[in-house]
Chain A
C-alpha cells in the first residue's frame, strides 16, 4: 500500500545546526505534504509540494521532491530549540481521499 516512510526515526542536533529528514513513498502522487507535531498535539501543516515541483522554500524550511526516486526531503536550517517536534510526511491516497502518514521523524534540538 502507498505509505510515506521517514528516515531517520530520530535525530538529535545542536541549536544552529541544520536538520535533514527524508521521506520515501511507494506509488505515484499528486502532491506531498510535511507536517510538524509538538508533544502529541495537533499537526501543523508546513508545506505542500506538487508532483511537478522539485523544490519549495518557506522561511527556514526547504523541501525537495524527486518523483523518479519517490522521495522527498525536509531541511530545517539554523535549527532552534523550538523546532523540537515530530515531523511527518504525508501523501494523498491514489484514487482516494485519505491522507497517508509515515511514522515520523522525532527531532531534538539541544540548546
Chain B
C-alpha cells in the first residue's frame, strides 16, 4: 500500500512569492495534518483537516492556508514568503483525528 505522498520534494522560492504544497493521504484516511519543522526542532502543528473541514489550527499567521479536497488530498498554501518560512513541511494522515498519524517524506522549502 502506498504511504503518504508529498510533492514537490524540494522547492526554492524568493521572498514575497507564494507556494503550494501538495499531499495525498494513505488510502482510507480522512484526516490530514500539516506540520512545519525547522532545523534542529520538532515538528510544529499548522493545520488539521477532517472530511474537508478545518478542525484545528496552530499558531501560524494568516499567510498560511490549506484546504482538503473530496478525495481527501490536501494543499498547503503560503503567501508572501519570508526567509523564516524555510523549513521542512510535513503532511500526516490518520484514520481519524486523535489516532496515530503517518507522515510523508516532506517538502523542503528554501526561501532566498
Contact = CB atoms under 8 A, between A and B. Distances in A.
B40 to A, nearest CB: 8
Nearest to B6: A42
Contacts of B40: 103
Interface string B16-48: 000000000000000101010101111111001
Given A33-B100, A48-B100, A97-B56, A43 B90 contact: yes
A100 B90 contact: no
A95 to B, nearest CB: 10
Contact of B39 (A33, A40, A97, A101): A40
A30 B100 CA distance: 12
B interface residue count range (under 10 / 10 to 19 / 20 to 34 / 35 or more)? 20 to 34
Nearest to B91: A42
Which interface class (under 10, 10 to 19, 20 to 34, 35 or more) fits A? 20 to 34
A44 interface: yes
A98 B106 contact: no
Interface in A14-57: 30, 33, 35, 40-45, 48
Name which of A90, A92, A93, A99 has the most chain B CB atoms within 10 A of its CB: A99
Interface in A74-111: 88, 90, 92-93, 96-104
25 contacts: A35-B103, A40-B37, A40-B39, A40-B108, A41-B105, A41-B106, A42-B90, A42-B105, A42-B106, A43-B43, A43-B92, A45-B102, A45-B103, A90-B42, A96-B56, A97-B31, A97-B33, A97-B48, A97-B55, A98-B48, A98-B58, A99-B92, A101-B43, A101-B44, A104-B41
Interface of B: 4, 6, 31, 33, 35, 37, 39-45, 48, 50, 55-56, 58, 88, 90, 92, 97-98, 100-106, 108
